[in-house]
Structure 1
Amino acid sequence: MPVLPAATDAAAPAGPKETTTAAFRSPEAALGRAARPLRTTEPHDGLADLRPFGRMVGDAPVVGLGEATHSSHEFFTVKQRVLRHLVEEKGFRAFALEAPWSTRLRLDACLLRGEGDLKRITDEEFRGTCRWWNNAEYRDLLQWIRAYNVEHPENPVRFIGDDNGFAGAGLYDAVNAYATAVRPELAAEPHEL
């Protein structure tokens, strides 16, 4: 979106009258010119109304999606529609979420190869500070990824946990098991840490 000048009494930039008058100075008018309405927020409907979004994305290799509130139905269902568009129309092949690395390992294995029960994994992994991801809308998004991967095993969508503040308890257990097997004399030290 172009940067619009702040509303001032200064002369407007040269150009056609309709873009240099009050409409150019009004944020509401600028938003009205740039906005493209969505037909629906429901994730399983068509994606044609997302074409303007696709043009805005262009050739960007990464697209960030946020939400004003966690666990709001419409934010999460629109996120699934946008992900579908990015995967099906733009070739994206990863979905990253603020989740521990260990969650990434479990969910990615489930979405790639069907390992484990998705509901059980989300119930176990999305607790505490990640509990807002444990909802029907995100499970539906993850189920869509799994279905896509079943149909496109040669070019799957991967799940990435990108929370670097906590690696996840499963990885600590793996390090402890490795230390015990390889250097039993040091096994107590990583366990204490």
Structure 2
Amino acid sequence: MQVHRLGGPGDFDPLLEQARSARVVMLGEASHGTYDYYRLREQVTRRLIAECGYSFVAVEGDWPDCDMVHRSVTGAPDGDADPQTALERFTRWPTWMWANTEVARFCRWLRAWNLDQPEPGRAGFHGLDVYSLWESMQAILDFLGEEDPASLELAQEAYQCFEPYGTRVEEYGLASRFVSARCEDEVVRLLARTRERAAHDGAGSFSAWQNAEVLVGAEKYYRAMVGGGPQSWNVRDTHMADTLDRLLERYGPDAKAVVWAHNTHIGDARATEMNRDGMVNIGQLARQRHGAENVVLVGFGSYQGTVVAASRWGSPAEVMTVPPGRAGSLEERLHTLLPERALLILSQSDRPDWLTDEADHRAIGVVYDPSFEAWGNYVPTRLGDRYDAFVWCDDTTALHPLPASPSTPGEMETYPAGV
């Protein structure tokens, strides 16, 4: 193990050395509402793109919303001149995950950097998640209406299948348990058609194909969600891993990806209690699919501070106090061992026992109650097996949400909630 004090972007050199020969770097966060994680992750990502040739950033967000940002940062003719304008149009709760000043600053930098590059070499910004059923449906209808009217009927059939459930698509999952209410055939036929077009056409067809993949994933997700257990989580993370692989193929054989997501998604599930519960995540799947030597998983954590979160699902965001890490946790140990800001390179040799022993590791979702710290909000973890590197911030502050569009509550997420 190596410990490096962090004071500026240049101090990430040891991490960039790891990343130069990798194909995927996943940068985590222990919450969705901490300024320090977003800011440090931005510093690393700028260098990965500018110095190491990384091709795109893929985030734990919805494909249609992130596609607006992608068009802006790549200078597409129909893209916003300011990426913040696109971020302010995010409507699915919790908007603050991506509609915040930290992401806006990075996207403005990315647009400026891209506009100095030839179009084929511009770095993209994409969403990996599975929740945008209706938004993806509308995007497909709009695309086919303009580009492929002959296939519009397929999309309309899928739309009509889900329409009785309105925006409460979880009711579709419940109905599918008791009656023949499944829309699987309709979305699979639509996927086959958009996949066929994407094989021959340009970026617009690829985006329609991805939106169709979202419909397939969402249909599976809502059916699995009502059954409980780990299956809906696995559907979601497998969808995100599949989307990442499609993007790597789309960008070409030399493509490299940066992923931004919660630690619970990017830290290898096999090194946590998630594995015992039968759960997988994108960090584990990336290592298995691309080889551990081609994937760098970077976790983030802190001892105390403030965070933006909500007290219950769909509630307004608020700034909450994050209490000191509880006794016996990784956070407590790192607080005693490390400087205020530090980078740990977790090599497979020269590892102290506490890197391979299981200890509690804090995970804060978009729904958070600090009073649960005594018995919740932690994931038992073998830190040295879960990540390849770890960024430590002893005392952190809350991020800064943008004045985004009024948000809708969105769909309930599965355990671990809100990550």
TM-score when normalising by structure 2: 0.34
* Structure 1 unaligned spans of 5+: 2-33, 41-46
Deviation at 1:126, TM superposition (A): 5.5
The aligned counterpart of 2:123 is: 157
The structure in which a higher percent of residues are helix is 1
The aligned counterpart of 2:211 is: none
The aligned counterpart of 1:80 is: 42
Change (3 A) 1:133 1:58: same
Tell me whether 1:35 sits opposite 2:3 in the alignment.
yes
The aligned counterpart of 1:124 is: 89
The aligned counterpart of 2:150 is: 182
SS at match of 2:4: coil
AA partner of residue 67 (structure 2): L
2:141–2:152 CA contact under 8 A, matched in 1: no
AA partner of residue 98 (structure 1): E
Deviation at 1:185, TM superposition (A): 6.7
CA displacement 1:87-137 (0-9 Å, x = unmatched): 122111211111111123211111111512422311222630343221101
User: What is the rounded CA distance, in whole Å, between the counterparts of 1:156 and 1:103 in structure 2?
Assistant: 19
Deviation at 1:56, TM superposition (A): 2.6
User: What is the rounded CA distance, in whole Å, between the counterparts of 1:58 and 1:132 in structure 2?
Assistant: 28
User: What is the rounded CA distance, in whole Å, between the counterparts of 1:73 and 1:173 in structure 2?
Assistant: 33
Deviation at 1:52, TM superposition (A): 1.1
CA displacement 1:129-186 (0-9 Å, x = unmatched): 34322110110011111011011134211112111x2245443113335379436777
The aligned counterpart of 1:5 is: none
The aligned counterpart of 2:395 is: none
The answer to which of 167-176 and 59-68 deviates more is 167-176
Tell me whether 1:92 sits opposite 2:60 in the alignment.
no
Alignment counterpart, residue 71 of structure 1, candidates 33, 51, 54: 33
User: What is the rounded CA distance, in whole Å, between the counterparts of 1:132 and 1:37 in structure 2?
Assistant: 28
AA partner of residue 38 (structure 1): L
Q: Provide runs of 4+ in structure 1 moved above 4 Å.
A: 183-188
SS at match of 1:35: strand
Structure number with bigger Rg: 1
Alignment of 1:109-120 (within 5 A): 109-113=71-75, 115-116=79-80, 117-120=82-85
Alignment counterpart, residue 69 of structure 2, candidates 91, 107, 111: 107
1:86–1:92 CA contact under 8 A, matched in 2: yes
User: What is the rounded CA distance, in whole Å, between the counterparts of 2:150 and 2:4 in structure 1?
Assistant: 59
The aligned counterpart of 1:54 is: 16
Alignment size in residue pairs: 154
User: What is the rounded CA distance, in whole Å, between the counterparts of 2:151 and 2:11 in structure 1?
Assistant: 58
AA partner of residue 90 (structure 1): C
The structure in which a higher percent of residues are strand is 2
User: What is the rounded CA distance, in whole Å, between the counterparts of 1:157 and 1:188 in structure 2?
Assistant: 34
Greater RCO between the two (CA within 8 Å, min separation 6)? 2
AA partner of residue 191 (structure 1): Y
The aligned counterpart of 1:136 is: 101
Change (3 A) 1:188 1:153: closer
SS at match of 1:109: helix
Change (3 A) 1:58 1:118: closer
Change (3 A) 1:49 1:170: same
2:137–2:155 CA contact under 8 A, matched in 1: no
* Structure 2 unaligned spans of 5+: 163-419
1:71–1:133 CA contact under 8 A, matched in 2: no
Q: Percent identity over the alignment? A: 25
RMSD: 2.5
TM-score when normalising by structure 1: 0.69
User: What is the rounded CA distance, in whole Å, between the counterparts of 1:185 and 1:127 in structure 2?
Assistant: 28
